Every structure is written in structure tokens, then in C-alpha cells.
Structure 1
Amino acid sequence: MAENMPSGESQNRQAYWRANLKLLAMLLVIWFVVSFGFGILLEDWLNQYRLFGFKLGFWFAQQGSIFTFVVLIFVYAFRMRALDRKFGVGD
């Protein structure tokens, strides 16, 4: 399939895919740091602070990683819409 494409179109698709993978990697790293780092590794240290009356480490382990994941879904949708426009990929 790729051999029938003009060279410029193939390069555009590769650049689009690289940008998509870069965005995914960045968002997954953020989610990993929040869920595993803040919720497990740094929980004891974060527990010295409070958020809404709860210890911060406990809050990240119970709620923070879920809230972060939901926010990252919206960030992904917004950024992918921008990438689609940039690379001329439409519905």
C-alpha cells in the first residue's frame, strides 16, 4: 500500500504517526508518574501535606490518578484534533 503513495504523502503520514506516538508517550509518562510515583513511591512523603482534609499521598492513590487519567483523555482528544488539522487528516 505504501509503495503506491507519493513520497510526500508517505512522509506526511510518518510524521503524523511519530507526532501521535510522541504525544501518547508523553501522556503515559505523566499518568505513570502520578499513579505509580505519587500514589505508591512518594506516598509516605506526600502524606505530610493535606488536600481537602485527606493526606496527599492517600488522595493521589485513591482519587488523583483517576482524575489525572480523565484529564489526560481530554488533553489527548484536544491535541489529536490539533494534530489532525496540522497534518490534514480529517474524518
Structure 2
Amino acid sequence: MKEENARAYWAANLRLILIYIAIWFAVSYGCGILLVDELNQIQFFGFKLGFWFAQQGSIYVFLVLIIKYAHSMNKLDRKFDVHED
């Protein structure tokens, strides 16, 4: 892999990481702490939505983000021809 191509690959990888971390932060901190009072006005499976996000929702979002990150990295690997298949 050429130096220029490697730098572009790493920059794209960092961009993906920052996007997914920002989403996770917004959901876990925003919905679980900052917006908890507003979200508690909504019921979700018998629980207040703010409580649910603080206890379980952010974990589920994190798991979905892991799967999406793996999929995005596979696409990025193919784009830069560094895939393992």
C-alpha cells in the first residue's frame, strides 16, 4: 500500500470512528442524562423512556454501532483494496 493511499485509508477510518463515537455519545449522554426528564414523559414497554435509555438503550445502540462499524470498515477495506477475502 502506497504512503498516500495508506494516509487516505487511515483518515477515512478515523472519520468513521469519530462519527460512531459522536452518535454513541449523543445517545448515551444526551438521552440518558441531559434529556432524561423530557424522555421520562414517554412510556416504553412500561418503563420511562429516559430511564430505559440510561439503563439499556445506550447499550443496545452501542451494539448496533459495533455491527455498523464492522460493515463500514469492510466497505472501506474493499474501497482501498486491503480486504481479506
Give the superposition deviation at 1:11. Answer: 1.0
| TM-score, normalised via structure 1 length | 0.88
- The aligned residue for residue 56 of structure 1 is 49
Letter in 2 for 1:11: E
User: Are 1:24 and 2:35 matched, yes or no?
Assistant: no
SS in 1 for 2:60: helix
Structure 1 gaps of 5+ residues are: none
Equivalent-residue separation in structure 2 for 1:47 and 1:35 (angstroms) = 15
State the identity as a percent: 61
Q: Given the alignment of the two structures, is residue 81 of structure 1 paired with residue 74 of structure 2, yes or no?
A: yes
Tell me the residue number matched to 2:65.
Answer: 72
Q: Is the 8 A contact 2:74 2:83 kept in 1?
A: no
Structure 2 alignment gaps of length 5 or more? none
> Which residue pairs with 1:42 in the alignment?
35
TM-score if structure 2 supplies the norm length? 0.94
Deviation at 1:76, TM superposition (A): 0.5
> Number of matched residues?
84
Partners of 2:62 and 2:7 in 1: how far apart? 27
| Larger Rg, first or second structure (1 or 2) | 1
Q: Distance in 1 between matches of 2:40 and 2:62?
A: 21
